[in-house]
Amino acid sequence: MIGNGAYIFKKNTLFVNEWYDKLLLEMDKLQKFPQEAWTKEYPYPFKWSQILADIFHPLCYKYNENILQYLPAPSFTNYRLDS
C-alpha cells in the first residue's frame, strides 16, 4: 500500500474517476442526511478515514498493478519557463 504523504495522478484514469465518484457519493450523503452526520458523541461530519482511507486504499488494492510505489526522480533541467 502506498503512503498518504504525496500523490501524483494522471487525470481521467479509471482510478481517479472512481475515487472522485465515490467521494461525491459520500458528500451527497452528507447533504441529503445532515442530521445523521453531526452527533453529540461525534461532532464531525465524517469519520477521519471516510474520505481518504475508506475510499482510497481499496482502490489502491484494486488498481495495484497501475500504481508506482515510488515517486519518479525530479528533473532539474528546463524547470523554468521564460516569460
Is 9 part of a structural domain of the chain? no
Query: What's the pLDDT tens digit per position in 24-64?
Result: 998 888 787 776 666 677 667 777 777 778 888 899 899 99
Is 42 part of a structural domain of the chain? yes
Query: What's the pLDDT tens digit per position in 14-26?
Result: 999 999 999 899 8
Is 40 part of a structural domain of the chain? yes
Is 36 part of a structural domain of the chain? yes
Is 4 part of a structural domain of the chain? no
Is 41 part of a structural domain of the chain? yes
pLDDT recorded at residue 63:
93
Is 55 part of a structural domain of the chain? yes
- Is the pTM higher than 0.85? The answer reads no
State which residues form the domain around 48: 14-66
Q: How far is CA 9 from CA 6, 13, 22, 47, 67, in A?
A: 10, 8, 17, 25, 9
Report residue 74's pLDDT band, with 50, 70 and 90 as the boundaries: confident
Is 53 part of a structural domain of the chain? yes
